[in-house]
Amino acid sequence: MKRLAIVALLTFLAGCAGPIGGKPTYATQTEFDPKEAGFIFTQGSGQISGRAFIRDQSRIRVAAGSKVTLVPATRYAEERVKLIYGTRKMATTGVSFSKPDKRYYAFTRSTMANEQGEFVFRNIGPGTYFVTTSVLWKDPSVRGGKGGGALIQKVELGDGEKKEVALSAVWG
């Protein structure tokens, strides 16, 4: 399950060279700027914690063992997020990027969600971030045999601030 969740998240976020399942390939108009994303390395006293889950009919499915990623909300990241998620908090289909900037991935932090789908990022500097993860499960009733998707939430964090978030969506 962990491997499936990590592979799915990378598929959603990494931007492979070719289309995924016939989905279009996008080229970002904005270039990645390391200076704009550099605040990700600022040591601070801020904290973002939370829980990630999807409600499936009457059941709650959590991001147990899933990678949770903290991404600086730069112009480049904003454009990618808009292409992947639109205005939604969950993406259920992957997208590809024709020329993803590999430096983008080096300017992130990650952790793993525990068995209850809980996670925490400590010692964060002030800034605006995207928190992303995936919640996936086997579901023979849907095409492809998998349920779930990638979740995202934007978080603005002040100096020394502690925020708790819920990355959540409803499936089906």
pLDDT per residue as tens digits for the range 28-40 = 999 999 999 999 9
Superfamily of domain 2-29+43-171 in the CATH hierarchy: Immunoglobulins (2.60.40.10)
Judged against a pLDDT cut of 80, whether residue 82 lies above it is answered with yes
Per-residue pLDDT at 92: 85
What is the average pLDDT score of the chain? 87
10 Å CB burial of residue 35 (0-12, 13-18, 19+) is exposed
Strands 162-171 and 43-56, by their bridges, are parallel
- The enclosing H or E element of 22 equals none
Domain ranges of the chain: 2-29+43-171
pLDDT per residue as tens digits for the range 61-73 = 999 999 999 999 9
118: left (phi > 0), else alpha (psi -120 to 50), else beta? Answer: beta
Of residues 37 and 145, more confidently modeled: 37
pTM of the model: 0.84
Q: Which two tokens stand for residue 6?
A: 């990590």
Per-residue pLDDT at 22: 56
Q: Which two tokens stand for residue 74?
A: 């730069």
Q: Which two tokens stand for residue 157?
A: 């964090």
76 and 4 Cβ atoms separated by less than 8 Å: no
Other beta carbons within 10 Å of 23: 12
Q: Which two tokens stand for residue 123?
A: 């010692």
Confidence band for 23, pLDDT divided at 50, 70 and 90? low
Judged against a pLDDT cut of 60, whether residue 13 lies above it is answered with no
134 and 150 Cβ atoms separated by less than 8 Å: yes
Nearest Cα residue to 26 out of 94, 92, 108: 94
Judged against a pLDDT cut of 60, whether residue 81 lies above it is answered with yes
**Helix/strand/coil for 58:** coil
- Mean pLDDT value of segment 140-165: 91
pLDDT per residue as tens digits for the range 91-127 = 988 788 888 899 999 999 999 999 999 999 999 999 9
- Mean pLDDT value of segment 12-36: 68
